[in-house]
Amino acid sequence: MIKKIMIGFVTASVLSASAIACPKNSGEKACYYQAGHSTVSKVIRAVSKTGLSAAQTRKIAEGIAEYEAMAEKIKKMEIFPVDSFINEEFDEQRFIKEMSEKYVSAVAARATLYKYVFAVLDKEQRKIFKREYAAPLISKMIKSY
């Protein structure tokens, strides 16, 4: 019983911290924490259904903290596609590389988070996580038809 309370408390703490970091009505376009749309909130929602132990909860919280730190670095990345215009020529490959660098970094950070979460969960918990993570996506697809 105490484990469940502690797990609920940690989960609620992480969720409320993200809500405080970016209030829903703040009007900032750069906010990562719009209710229900961030990678972190989706992972927390799915992982909370897996019956985590206290040790697993701590490890997942650490993984989320690492992901958030990486996401913050990626957010601050500056991209200068103007460097692709050399003299009177245009370097198409350099332009594509520079413009896609930030996006690729964000996808890699998410992949690292998912890999970390899967490493913490046992085989049965992975099945539950996968089902719970995919459920909103499947629901959205069904509603779109």
DSSP string, the chain: -HHHHHHHHHHHHHHHHHHHHS-TTS--TT-S--TTTSHHHHHHHHHTTS---HHHHHHHHHHHHHHHHHHHHHHT----GGGGEETTEE-HHHHHHHHHHHHHHHHHHHHHHHHHHHHHS-HHHHHHHHHHHHHHHHHHHHHH-
- Give the model confidence (pLDDT) of 92-101 as tens digits: 888 888 888 8
Question: 12 or 126, which is more confident?
Answer: 126
- What is the rounded average pLDDT of the residues 102-111? 92
- Give the model confidence (pLDDT) of 57-87 as tens digits: 999 999 999 999 999 999 888 877 777 888 8
Total domains present in the chain:
1
Q: What domain range includes position 27? A: 2-144
Phi, psi of 31 (to 5 degrees): -65, 130
- Give the model confidence (pLDDT) of 11-53 as tens digits: 545 444 444 445 545 444 444 444 335 889 999 999 999 999 9
Q: Look at residue 1 in the predicted model and tell me its pLDDT.
A: 52
Contact 133/43 with Cβ under 8 angstroms? yes
